[in-house]
């Protein structure tokens, strides 16, 4: 598990794919939550959302996902025209999971473990059991009520439905529909880690890849395959990897993704 405490922040919004797209239409570099809220209210893009709800979406969802880390919002906005709808969904999922450790840990510890074990469905009670175990492990700042546990359980599953990881079978079960990580996202995420000053082996072994069910050996193969497109040159000897990186900035990475 991560060291961050779990919160109920997913209650402010699950996938919010369409709302996020609209907010990125309005976003300009350096915008604050207050300025984004004012612009969104005046844009006419959210006619069915109250001013209070819109501020909540921006402050509790958009901001933690895209505004807390430098350049993330600028990078995502630049990428959007170059990605298919499915690829954009993967990108939104990645940043939502990063901003919500409870979702990230649930995916890594429950979702992908179920898939690796050959299961086809995920029961709602399994999300509840995960949260109850997390409470016992001290992952929350305070004890959650039974109603909160039940609600957050549904938020976890609903978020994964929004991002295409699950489809609804019946009220008690969801079918596992794991997406394959797009080649464009492999390139973007690998360079994002590289520009964070991580070593090559640390990149291969980074926990971010686990959000897409990839073990280090899977990542190594993905990077080897994408070397054919000259995104990098990779040399591997056993578990030791050395990568010669082609691009010198994230702007250059984004410009060649097509």
Instruction: Supply the pLDDT for residue 239.
Output: 79
Place of tokens 């994230």: 250
Ordered alpha helix ranges (H), the chain: 17-26, 33-43, 51-57, 72-79, 85-99, 101-106, 112-116, 124-136, 146-162, 183-194, 200-204, 216-226, 250-256
Region 222-245: mean pLDDT is 92
Question: What whole-number distance in Å separates Cα of residue 192 and Cα of residue 116?
Answer: 27
* 3-state secondary structure (DSSP) of residue 245: strand
Domain segments of the chain as ranges: 9-82, 99-176, 183-256
Model pTM score: 0.94
Question: What whole-number distance in Å separates Cα of residue 95 and Cα of residue 243?
Answer: 25
Report whether pLDDT(43) > 70. Answer: yes
- Decide yes or no: CATH 1.10.10 for domain 183-256: yes
Report whether pLDDT(2) > 70. Answer: no
Question: Nearest-CA neighbor of 226 among 246, 240, 205, 210?
Answer: 246
Tens digits of residue pLDDT in 46-67: 999 999 999 999 999 999 999 9
């Amino acid at each position: 598990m991560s060291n961050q405490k779990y919160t109920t922040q997913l209650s402010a919004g699950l996938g919010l794919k369409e709302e996020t797209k609209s907010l990125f239409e309005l976003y300009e570099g350096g915008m604050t939550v207050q300025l984004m809220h004012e612009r969104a209210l005046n844009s006419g893009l959210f006619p069915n959302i109250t001013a209070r709800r819109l501020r909540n979406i921006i402050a509790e969802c958009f901001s933690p996902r895209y505004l807390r880390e430098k350049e993330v919002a600028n990078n995502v906005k630049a990428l959007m025209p170059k990605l298919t709808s499915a690829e954009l969904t993967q990108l939104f999922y990645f940043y939502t999971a990063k901003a919500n450790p409870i979702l990230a840990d649930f995916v890594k510890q429950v979702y992908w473990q179920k898939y690796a074990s050959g299961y086809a469905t995920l029961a709602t009670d399994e999300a509840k059991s995960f949260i109850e175990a997390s409470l016992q492990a001290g992952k929350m700042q305070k004890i959650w009520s039974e109603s909160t546990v039940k609600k957050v359980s549904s938020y976890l599953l609903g978020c994964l439905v929004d991002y295409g990881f699950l489809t609804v079978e019946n009220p008690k079960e969801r079918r596992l529909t794991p997406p394959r990580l797009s080649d464009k996202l492999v390139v973007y995420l690998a360079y994002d880690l590289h520009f964070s000053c991580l070593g090559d082996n640390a990149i291969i072994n980074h926990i971010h890849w686990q959000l897409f069910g990839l073990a280090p050996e899977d990542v190594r193969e993905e990077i080897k395959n994408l070397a054919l497109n000259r995104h990098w040159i990779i040399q591997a000897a056993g578990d030791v990897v050395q990568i010669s990186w082609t691009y010198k900035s994230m702007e250059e990475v984004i410009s060649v993704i097509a």
